Amino acid sequence: MKKSEDSESHTISVLVDNEPGVLARVIGLFSGRGYNIDSLTVTETEHEAHLSRITVVTAATPMVIEQIKAQLARLVPVHSVIDLTVSGPSIERELALIKVGGKGERRVETLRLADAFRARVIDATTESFVFEITGRTNKIDQFISLMEPLGLVEVARTGVAAITRGPGGLTPE
């Protein structure tokens, strides 16, 4: 997907009925209409009420962002759609597991940087570490790029979870 000049990144949370196929509907909407998905997370958030929360990070022109929100809102099992990027202050976090190999001096440098980023060692061998790091997407990106020359082996990321600040919440209408 080509990104045009005035493309901006938005984090959109969608509260859906947790019924079979609902994720396919959302993903199909994005692929079918040619929208970007930069990150996508989904899990049941309220078991009793059968609600799931889908968080999508997408990049598009303002007009297309409005389209995406309207298209999401008209899916039958969707309760509500909120654009966290414009709805006021919000917090975004992502978790990543990062495996870095290497021996000798490089391991010291790796640990020093991990410490600076508050990445925790959750597995270690004499020639590798697995770090757990949480933070905003760009913090994780930055950490990964620093690890690359030091022996980055692989990365697993959860995608973005996001929520508004303050007492208000995303509720079914």
Partner 1 sequence: MAREMTGAEMVLQALADQGVTDVFGYPGGAVLPIYDEIFQQEKVSHVLVRHEQGAVHAAEGYARSTGKVGVVLVTSGPGATNAVTGLTDALMDSIPIVCITGQVPTHLIGNDAFQECDTVGITRPCTKHNYLVRDVEDLARVLHEAFYVAANGRPGPVVVDIPKDVQFATGTYNGTPNVRHKTYRPKLKGDQAAIRETVELLANARKPIIYSGGGVINSGPSASRLLRDLVKATGYPITSTLMGLGAYPASGDKWLGMLGMHGTYEANMAMHDCDVMLCVGARFDDRITGRLDAFSPNSKKIHIDIDASSINKNVHVDIPIIGDCAHVLEDMVRIWKARSVQPDKAAMEAWWGQIAEWRKRESLSYKSNDDVIMPQYAIERLYQLTRDRDVYISTEVGQHQMWAAQHFHFEEPNRWMTSGGLGTMGYGLPAAIGIQRAHPDALVIDIAGEASILMNMQEMSTAVQHRLPVKIFILNNEYMGMVRQWQQLLHGNRLSESYMESLPDFVKLAEAYGAVGLRTEKPSELDDAIKEMISVDRPVIFDCRVNKLANCYPMIPSGKAHNEMLLGDEPEVEEVSEAGKILV
Residues in touch with partner 1 (CB under 8 A): 17, 20-21, 24-25, 28, 32, 63, 66-67, 70-71, 73-74, 76-79, 172-173
Rounded to a whole number, what is the distance in angstroms from the first to the last CA of the chain? 33
CB of 55 to partner 1, least distance (A): 18
CB of 164 to partner 1, least distance (A): 21
CB of 54 to partner 1, least distance (A): 14
CB of 172 to partner 1, least distance (A): 7
* Residue 14 vs 152, nearer CB to partner 1: 14
> Per the structure block, which two tokens stand in for 76?
């039958």
Q: Are strands 120-125 and 39-46 parallel, antiparallel or unpaired?
A: unpaired
Quick one: how far is CA 6 from the chain centroid?
A: 22
Instruction: Report the C-alpha gap between 129 and 122 in whole angstroms.
Output: 8
Residue 133 main-chain phi, psi, to 5 deg? -135, 140
* Residue 74 vs 103, nearer CB to partner 1: 74
Quick one: how far is CA 147 from the chain centroid?
A: 20
* Residue 6 vs 105, nearer CB to partner 1: 6
* Residue 78 vs 130, nearer CB to partner 1: 78
